[in-house]
Amino acid sequence: MTSALRTFTRLVTVVAVVMAYVALHLAITAGMDLRARDRFREAPTRAAAFVAALDRYAGGDVSARAEIGEVDAWFEENAPSGASRSAVSSATGDVQEGRVSLARERVAGLAVQVEQEQAGLDRDLNSSDTVALWLAVTAGVLVVPALRLRRRRRSGAADVVEVVGQFAPRQPWWRRPVFLAASGVGYGLFTAGFLAVSTAQRQGYKMTLAAQVLLLPCGLAALGAGILVLRYTRPRSAGGAVQALLADGRRPVLYLRSFNDDDSAARVDDVAAVNIHSREEQLAGALGTLGPVIAVGRPGEPLPRLGAARFYLPLDDWQPVVLRLMELSQLIVLRLGLGEGLWWEVEQARATQPARKLVLLAPGQLPGVAERLDEVLPAPSRLDKVIAGDSWISAVIVFDPEWTPQVHPVGTVPGATPRRGRLARVAARVKASGLASMTTYAPTHHVVRAMKAALASVGVRKRTMVLRGNLATQAALWRGILLLTALGLLGWLVFRALQLFGAW
């Protein structure tokens, strides 16, 4: 499935869900309008009784005052907010203050007002019914192409799923849903706490001391609790390679590395105000513009690392599977290291795959890597002149059709020019205003920039790669915002339904 078709599939699904939600909301509104109309059916009779009671009271019948109060209470409970209820309420107040003549003047057109409001309730009911019906029909119609596109998306990754599915670890069916729900609680706490602390910091001078004292500690407590919950639940709720492939539908990006690199890749760089996402998560987020990122998991690890979706191969028969996945993947991203298995993968990719398909990530000062790489390639890489320090990744290497290496140092983008145009001007204004204070660039940001430039040099252009990598540092915050928004909309719908059935 192409990226455009995948985006269209998601758009159709989102539109169908939104229309279904609005249709359900309008259906509840129509039900409430129907109840309001039924309650207001007696209004003409009640209005006539109110006018008659006023006339009797004006003629000296004091007992009519009780009937006036009774009709006023009925209008207060059953009439819509409009002219008739206001007129009856005002007239009742005038009676209590002895202004009977003014009260009679106020209700002179009460019968006409009641008739107009009944007609208005009928129009509202018909309008809600019609719009709800059309939206429900449209949502139902959109469900059919959404399901077909979903099936087509899944079929696009069927051959890769067939290979990877043989090595997916078996888990109880309830495990992932339970931890996903727990992660949702963590995301909600994390986001609520972050927003509370940010509000206290930025707007605290406008608040009372009591509000500041309440908001800041509670926000910090919610933020800390959210982080603890997410640290425990996210690895346990992470989907495996099969789920990632089925959810995306595109050919995967195969991420290969030495298992010894996992600890370094799992490091969380201190870049944003609060960041809980590892280097590998940021890298996988950027590569997600190309396709789902999958990787072989370390044998025997109790929980999968976060980032690339894991599957697990047997120790004695892993090479044929890796070769098959190299063939099925659209891109092979390989971080160089010292393991013999890793260099076997480099040699096999060099021998069996197109040159533009392989991307090498070179770490900082790791003895022997540059020399070993030059043994495999037809031309020297001169990697030893580029890599320096102890950075996780110092250079990105791609290849032309003759396998001549093109080395792109991390931290600089060869040939880069300042961005121009409206988007660049908007970005500059946002940065100047301080609204971009959360986007402090992580070390992985510079890796992704170098990777984007490297891929562009071999004809693979993805404009949103850097943006996706940066957003990965704030993924927990945005997921929390979406979750809280969804819960708010769902809660509002439930509240309206309770009102409809008289339970609220």
Instruction: Find the angle CA(449)-CA(455)-CA(459) to the nearest 5 degrees.
Output: 140
Q: Which residues pair with 295 in a beta bridge?
A: 255, 310
Judged against a pLDDT cut of 50, whether residue 450 lies above it is answered with yes
pLDDT digits (tens, 9 = 90+) for 277-303: 999 999 999 999 999 999 999 998 999
The dihedral through the CA atoms of 360, 362, 367, 373 has a sign that is positive
Closest Cα partner for 346 from 258, 266, 407? 258
Cα 434 to Cα 447: distance, rounded to the nearest angstrom: 25
Q: What percent of the chain clears pLDDT 70, i.e. is strictly above it? A: 93
Is pLDDT of 2 > 80? no
**Mean pLDDT along residues 325-349:** 94
What value, to the nearest 5°, has the Cα angle with vertex 182 and ends 222 and 211?
15
Residue 388 and residue 365: Cα distance in Å, rounded?
A: 5
Judged on CB neighbours under 10 Å (0-12, 13-18, 19+), 490 is: exposed
What's residue 93's pLDDT? Answer: 94
pLDDT of residue 415 exceeding 80, the answer is no
Contacts of 486 (CB under 8 A, 6+ apart): none
Helix (H) or strand (E) segment spanning residue 7: helix 3-39
Q: Is 454 helix (H, G, I), strand (E, B) or coil?
A: helix
309: β partners = 294
**For residues 335 and 363, is the Cβ–Cβ distance under 8 A?**
yes
Model confidence at 417: pLDDT above 50: no
Answer whether residue 434 shows pLDDT above 60: no
- Judge whether residue 270 has pLDDT over 80: no
Backbone angles phi, psi at 41, to 5 degrees: -60, -35
Helices first, then strands: H and E counts in the chain: 19, 7
Assess contact for 151 and 63: CB atoms under 8 A.
Answer: no
Determine the average pLDDT of the residues in 33-47.
Answer: 92
Write b or e for each residue in 36-53: b if 16 or more Cβ atoms lie within 10 A of its Cβ, otherwise e: bbeebeebeebbebbbeb
Q: Phi and psi (nearest 5°) for 359?
A: -125, 125
Q: In the structure, what pLDDT confidence band is assigned to residue 259 with cuts at 50, 70 and 90?
A: very high
CA–CA dist 319, 313 (Å, integer): 9
Burial of residue 436 (CB within 10 Å: 0-12, 13-18, 19+) is: middle
Span 79-107, average pLDDT: 92
Residue-wise pLDDT for 140-162, tens only, equals 999 999 888 888 888 888 999 99
Residues in CB range of 467: below 8 A, 6 or more apart: none
What's the confidence (pLDDT) of residue 344? 95
Of the candidates 298, 331, 297, the residue with the CA atom closest to the CA atom of residue 311: 297
For the record, the structure tokens of 360 come out as 């090498």
